[in-house]
Structure formats: structure tokens, C-alpha cells
Amino acid sequence: MTTPNTGKVKVLIADDLAPGAADIFKNRGIEVDFKVGLKKDELISIIGQYDGLAVRSACKPDKDVIAAGSKLKVIGRAGIGVDNVDVKAATAKGVIVMNTPFGNAITTAEHAIAMMFAAARQIPSASQRTIAGEWPKKDYIGIELFAKTLGLIGAGNIGSIVADRALGLKMKVVAYDPFLTAERATQLGVEKVELNELLARADVITLHTPLTEQTKNILSAENIAKTKKGVILINCARGGLADETAVRAGLESGHIGAAAFDVFLEEPAKANVLFGAPNFIATPHLGASTVEAQDNVAFQVAEQMADYLLTGAVSNALNTPSVTAEEAPKLKPFVALAEKLGQFAGQVADGGLAEVEIEYEGQVAQLNRKPLTSAALAGMLRPFLAEVNMVSAPAVLQERGGSLKESINEASPIYDSLIRIKVKVDDKWRSVAGAIVGGKPRIVEVKGMALEADFQPYMLFINNSDKPGFIGAMAGQLGEAKVNIATFNLGRETAGGDAIAIVGVDQDVPAKTLEAIKALPQVRYVKVLKF
């Protein structure tokens, strides 16, 4: 969100982007420098000259680079992942970070299918030995993929393309994805299952999920032990989704029939525990490496950056919603409120976002609600999908079969403006509402119960029965763990009935303490929320 730039605008392309990207900038009157392979100190010494920085994955704009970018307004990543960009530092400095979330989906999906074939028939090893003068025909008895079961972990944009290709091979596809609804699974032609069932049934498992706290080592030693003997593992998504040491052990024992990885926990992977393991295939993060994909993402990021620098239009930003410059001042506080309410709703929904309703009351109902809804959905999805942004969030929810309903009411009984988010979980609705109070986003209602609470970095959310002894017992558990209470807010339906406590604390609550609070007789539900 910025005003149009009327002065000389300069962009640095610091990675090997398709040449057409520079032409897009030049044709729109933006000066371009193309400098690839800069060392960090070299980049820091010149970044202050530029309004925009275009990168792929080799250039790493960290907090030091961003701090040196005195004119820097936007960083464009030609591709999906932004692991190489310090988004937090960019946000703090007011630098927009954009990516191109859908430009290389087909290419990455095709690479996963290619790796699956290569692993099933051990093509790289057979090729190497044949070229060396051997004729090792008897050593390579592969498997047919026809009629085999493919286990898809992650059924988003790339995963759904892989499913479509696998179904064309007459494979059966089972999918695990917390956001995949039964209706969307039917549309894709896959069977929605829980993770343990997928592990037990799949002949081939392929990963298509971002790396988050929830997905790190999703193929752990424990989960690998639950798979079929001879299972084939494919990872063209993110390093760290599979425990590399456990995969090595599985390959050596023969429990894993073959594995093919395009990504690794540490890259460039000049050395890795998996290298040299039997029946292991590696490629150097080639998932998005086709001419078509590289052209798509390069052209897309150049157009997005030029639009932002010249007109203030925002597209595919990870740290701000799409919005015009004229709308920005009115929308800014409500964007912050919507995103925080979304984070609250997403964390208490426990992964189930089949139905989402967002209600706008009062003056906010008259504003451009699209960026507000996008911000709310991004907040909901981000705890599980780290790469989701405020532009792609609605599409991400839709592609997982989640439904979204918006409603407006021009009157608001208490506040000038109010936003309420409702999420359906196991046939029950969980709701949270907020307003701008004193210029700050505040929670003003939970489960229909009125209360006012500021957002804190750590908040203990408790649903309890309104009975004596609860507050003292809960506070005692926090005190014993040396967790300091910053704020304390209560709401209830009636005396002795259903109640809510929102406790702001200064640090995370230890698991042991959380279990002790859960065990209190008055407590029905408790969770630590992080903002």
C-alpha cells in the first residue's frame, strides 16, 4: 500500500531471471540493473540505490540487507517459497514481499511424477550401470504403478495436479490434508483419509505441503514404521518434511523400497545422510526448473513489482493485502483486526475450516471488504500453511473445498464497526468478534459472550464453567511454572454457566502446565494462542 512513485524508479534483479523480466520493467519506464551472484556485503553496499529487489532462491535478502535498503519498497520472489527472504524484517521496515504462488505448479507436479517413475523402475542406477558397459537386467525388477495406491500428503494446488496425473495412470489416490473436505475430495477423484490410514495403505507416498511446525518431520521414524514394507517415498516439496536419518535407515533395512528427493533439509546439499543409500534418487531442487515455469514466474513477478512501484497496486503479497492507495488509510486498522481475529479463529478451529462465515457490522460494512476477508483467511490458514498470503488465501480455502460466507449489517449495536468470524468444527460453530477500540484491535466477543481483551503475543484461551475456585487454581498453576500473567479478561453467559477466560501471558505455557490446567474440574477446553 503506497502512493504512486513519480520519481526515478530503479529495480535490481539479483538472481538469474528470464530476460523478459527486465524488458517488462524497462517498457514501463523503470530502470533495471542485472547483477547476479553478489556476495552479502556487495549487496548491502548497493541496495540503498533501489526501490525494488527481484530474486529467486540464491539471493538472500536477510535483515541486514533489508536494513540497508533505505529506498527499498518491494521484494519480489519469482517462485513460491520465501525461505530466503526475511519477511518479518521486511514487514517491520514496511517493505512489501511478493511471491508468485501458482506460476510453477504444473512443472513441480510433473517432476514428482517423474521421480515416482524413476524410483519405481530405478532408472538412474540402471542407466549408469548400462552406460558403464554392464548389462544388469536381472538386478532391476521394478514395480508397475498401475492399480497401486498413491498416498498424497497435501492436496493443494500442486497436490491436486499430481492426483489428476496419477488417476490418469489408473492409480488409486488417497489424500491426507486437514483442509480437504469430502466434497473437494470427490471433485478431485481422491479418497480423503487420516494420516495413519494413508501410511498403512499407500504403495507410494508423495509430499506436497509447506514446512510448518505441524508438518516438520511428518514422515518421522515412527510414521515410517507404519508404512507398508517396500513403500516408495517422494519429496519434491520442502526439505524437513521427512526425517532424513530415518529414511536412510528405512532404505538400508529394506522397509523403504525406494526414495526420490528433490529437496533437502540443508541446501545446497553438497553432503547428506541419504547420499549413497540403496535405491535413493536425488535431484538438486529441480521441481520448478523448466523453461515454461521460469518464464512464468519471472514475468509475473516483474509485472507485480512494476504495478506496485508505479501505481501502488498490491498483488500476491505475503505481508499486506491487495488494496488501492486511496483505500489504504481507512482499511489499515481493520486489516490488522481481521488478520488477528483470523489467527484466533484458525487456532481454535484445530485444523477444521470446512465452513467459514465472516460478518461485518456498522461502518466497516461499507468499506472494500475483499482485503479484510483475505486478511482474515490468511490469518486462519497461516498457522498451517506458512506460504499462504492475503491474496492467495481465498483460493487456497476454495481449492481445499472450504466454503466462505460473508454477511453485512449496516447497524452495529455497541461499536461503530465490528467484525465477527465463525468457523464450523464438528457440527458446532466457534466464533470470535473484534472491534477497533482506542485505535487498537481488540477482542470484544467470544462464543457470543461479551468481553474486551487486547491481543498479546501469547494468550491462554479457556472455556470453563463459571464456578468458584477456577481463577485461583488456574493462576496457581501459572505461578508455579513462573509464567507471568499480563492481562486477564472474563466473559460468561449466566452465573454458574458457560464462561470464557482470555489470559495474556508473557511467555509460552509449558506443556505440563497446560495439561494441569486442562485437568481442572471447571475447564472444558484450553489452548495457547500465539500472535
The set of catalytic residues is: 238, 267, 285
Q: Provide the 8-state DSSP code for 462.
A: E
Alpha carbon 283 to chain centroid, angstroms: 24
134 contacts 314 by C-beta, under 8 angstroms? no
Alpha carbon distance 423, 517 (integer Å): 25
In the block, cell 518434511 appears at 241
Q: How far apart are the first and last CA of the chain?
A: 22
Q: Where are the beta strands (DSSP E) in 314-384?
A: 355-362
For helices 370-381 and 328-348, angle between their N-to-C axes, nearest 10 degrees: 30
Q: Provide the 8-state DSSP code for 317.
A: B
Q: Where are the beta strands (DSSP E) in 201-279?
A: 204-207, 231-235, 256-261
Render 433-497 in DSSP notation, one character per residue. Answer: EEEEETTEEEEEEETTEEEEEE--SEEEEEEEE--TTHHHHHHHHHHHTTPPEEEEEEEESSTTS
Count of Cβ atoms closer than 10 Å to residue 29 Cβ: 11
151 contacts 163 by C-beta, under 8 angstroms? no
Q: Tell me the pairing of strands 204-207 and 191-192.
A: unpaired
Alpha carbon distance 152, 175 (integer Å): 5
Q: What are phi and psi of 423, to 5 degrees?
A: -130, 135
Q: Taking Cα atoms as reference points, which of 510, 502, 511 lies closest to residue 529?
A: 502
Alpha carbon distance 71, 73 (integer Å): 6
Q: What is the largest CA-CA distance in the chain?
A: 85
Whether omega for the bond prior to residue 136 falls within 30 degrees of 0, making it cis, is no
Alpha carbon distance 437, 362 (integer Å): 14
Residue 333: all three cell numbers together: 486498522
Q: Is 268 helix (H, G, I), strand (E, B) or coil?
A: coil
Alpha carbon distance 175, 192 (integer Å): 5
Q: Provide the 8-state DSSP code for 357.
A: E
Alpha carbon distance 508, 489 (integer Å): 18
